[in-house]
Amino acid sequence: MSGKGAIPASRTEEATEMLPPPVGELRGRLLVGRYYIIERMAVGGMAEVYLATHGQLAGFQTPVVVKRILPNLAHSREFIEMFLDEARIAALLQHPNIANIMEVGRERDEYFLAMELVQGESLSQVLRTLHAKQHQLPPALAAFIASQILAGLHHAHTICDTQGQPLHVVHRDISPQNILISYEGAVKVIDFGIARAMGRVTHTRVGSAKGKFSYMSPEQARREAVDHRSDIFSLGVVLWEMITGCRLFRRDNELDTVDAILGEAAPPLSKFIPVPPLLEAIVDRSLAKNVDERFASAQEMETLLQRYVSEEGVAGPPELRRFMHQYFLEEQNAWRQRVRRALSQTTPVPEMTPITASSLTPLTMPESPAAIAQARPRSYGMPLLAGVTVFVSLLAVILAWKALNPPPPIYAPPPSAMVVPVVTPTPSPVPPPVLEATLPRPAPTAPAPTVEAKLRDPTKMDPHRKPGKLATPAKTTTKPRVLKPNPFGF
């Protein structure tokens, strides 16, 4: 595919992206004692990107990306203040479709960002590879990638601070260079907030915007106030270019590019490739020049794109993963080897300041024991410690004695629980004898039959017993009871 609107093979805009990894100034250095720099991967207009490892113990290291602010910007106090302000906001963003920032650090006069490593390719590299092979990205797959980007944008646009106040985060630099696609099919947006800080610095504004004019919204090109709908317009440009394989607003120079953004309408997708009406309507609405005619939120556009993708039924993470394996298998193997080599290198432990004889303060001793005693300050530490030790010991003994000898209860038990002591009564004086005539004589009663008499009862005697032996009870259906003498006497 060729022509004015095709993606140029010379890559004039992306000339600073993904340079060969030369030996950088930070290679082999240990930043803030945690990030060991392995190699430089890319250099841009604002920062240079390094592959690094986080951690000091072999086997417990994590590959990360370290972005160091270029020295010419690090000396700008205005830029550094706004950069740190925007970086704090960007660090709050935690979403699967946003490359998370782990730390914003400083090493002497160098400011850097530590970010998660996404093993994959930028969307700009994907489009260049397809152009070189004269292939195009399937529309359904392009719509799926755009829906993932919109999910991350919606999270950023609606994030609030700890007080529940919206932060109104706007990316301001949605472009193929800031969209990463991993080899496993994940889509990540990078550089949240950094481009905004870059654009607010007057003397760096021209250099920072170079190469990104073709993705600006009309209000951003006019230097007006922008909101989240500016990111929706920029994503509409990216989606249009993914489907058609051509550049939408880029012209020979920046002035003509801005004029095209402000005055030219985007050609319909049907002029380049047959697409369903739903997809074409989504792209046209996102590219509306009037802000009020665009989607009200990134989530609204994401919902429509997901509906289109579900109707097609041929796009999703598995399809995107197969696509990346098909076109970038060698790059994926090279990335794995690079990360494996990085993890195999042991992060050096920060060097300790050596102790020398000159760094020690000489110790001067008095000449005599009396002088030593006089020079030594009086200390009450040892007597006080001994007194405290004795007091604690006595307290422990008292507590142990009380635990072993509990005091009697201070309450009276209820009458039902009282134990009546056994008291031997005092013998009373013997009463005088009473005459037998004066007392009524009780009627004679028969003595109670004893057990032996009961056993000798003829009615209960066994007729077959032998003489001289006790009768046994008549046989019953139950086993007879055998009486045994009581050895206890009762």
Q: Worst-scoring range by mean pLDDT, 37-41, 78-82, 133-137, 464-468?
A: 464-468
Which pLDDT belongs to residue 484? 54
- Asked, for residue 447, whether it belongs to a domain, the answer is no
Tokens of 430: 């013997």
193 located within any domain: yes
Residue 12 above 50 pLDDT? Answer: no
Active site residue 173: yes
302/308 Cα distance (integer angstroms): 10
So what's the pLDDT on residue 11?
Answer: 37
Per-residue pLDDT at 357: 47
- Domain hosting 239: range is 30-343
Average pLDDT over residues 386-412: 75
In this model, does residue 205 exceed pLDDT 50?
no
Q: What is the pLDDT of residue 88?
A: 80
Please report whether residue 233 resides in a domain: yes
- By CB neighbour count within 10 A (0-12 exposed, 13-18 middle, 19+ buried), where does 103 fall? middle
Residue 126 or residue 31, greater confidence: 126
Q: Report if residue 295 sits inside a domain.
A: yes
Highest mean predicted confidence (pLDDT) among 29-33, 55-59, 392-396, 441-445? 392-396
**Residue 208: predicted pLDDT:** 42
Residues 198, 70: contact at Cβ < 8 Å?
Answer: no
Residue 16 pLDDT grade (very low, low, confident, very high; cuts 50, 70, 90): very low
- The pLDDT value recorded for residue 359 is 45
3-state helix, strand, coil in the chain (%, to 5): 40, 10, 45
- Given pLDDT bands bounded at 50, 70 and 90, which one contains residue 174? very high
| pLDDT value at residue 312 | 83
pLDDT of residue 449: 59
Neighbours of 262 (CB within 10 A): 14
Ranges 71-85, 88-102, 281-295: which has the least confidence: 71-85
pLDDT higher at 368 or 187: 187
Whether 68 maps to a domain, the answer reads yes
Strand partners, 182: 120
Bigger pLDDT: 454 vs 225? 225
Tokens 């009762």 locate to: 490
**What's the pLDDT score for residue 220?**
92
Q: Which one of the listed residues 85, 109, 161, 173 is annotated catalytic?
A: 173
Closest C-alpha to 142, from 329, 325, 319, 331 = 319
Q: Look at the chain and report how many structural domains it folds into.
A: 1
Average pLDDT, the chain: 75
3-class secondary structure for 391-439? Answer: HHHHHHHHHHHHHHCCCCCCCCCCHHHCCCCCCCCCCCCCCCCCCCCCC
Q: Is the pLDDT higher at 188 or at 59? A: 188
The pLDDT score that the predictor gives to residue 280 is: 95
Token pair, residue 390, equals 């004795």
For the CA atoms of 452, 453, 458, 462, what is the dihedral angle to 10 degrees?
A: -10
Task: Kindly state the tokens that stand for 79.
Answer: 């830029």
Helix (H, G, I), strand (E, B) or coil at 122: strand
Residue 487's pLDDT is 52
Distance CA 440, CA 434 (A): 11
Question: Taking the mean position of all CA atoms in its chain, how far away is CA 466?
Answer: 101
91 domain residue, yes or no: yes
| Residue 384 forms part of a structural domain | no
pLDDT category at 259 given cuts 50, 70, 90 is very high
With bands split at pLDDT 50, 70 and 90, how would you rate the model's confidence at 361? very low
CB 44 within 8 A of CB 67: no
Q: So what's the pLDDT on residue 129?
A: 94
- Identify the band that residue 21 occupies on the pLDDT scale cut at 50, 70 and 90: very low
Q: 101: domain CATH number?
A: 1.10.510.10
State the pLDDT confidence band at 51, using cuts at 50, 70 and 90.
confident
Other C-beta atoms within 10 Å of 291: how many?
16
In this prediction, residue 53 carries a pLDDT of 86
Q: To the nearest whole percent, how much of the chain has pLDDT over 90?
A: 32
Through-space distance between the first and last CA atoms of the chain, rounded to whole angstroms: 123
pTM metric for this prediction? 0.63
pLDDT at 23: 37
Cα separation, 461 vs 471, in Å, equals: 5
Identify the helix (H) or strand (E) that includes residue 229.
helix 228-244
By mean pLDDT, which of 55-69, 164-178, 196-210, 454-468 is the weakest?
Answer: 196-210
Q: Is 208 exposed, middle or buried (0-12, 13-18, 19+ CB in 10 A)?
A: buried
* Mean predicted confidence (pLDDT) in 162-168: 85
Closest-CA residue to 16 (of 39, 40, 41, 43): 43
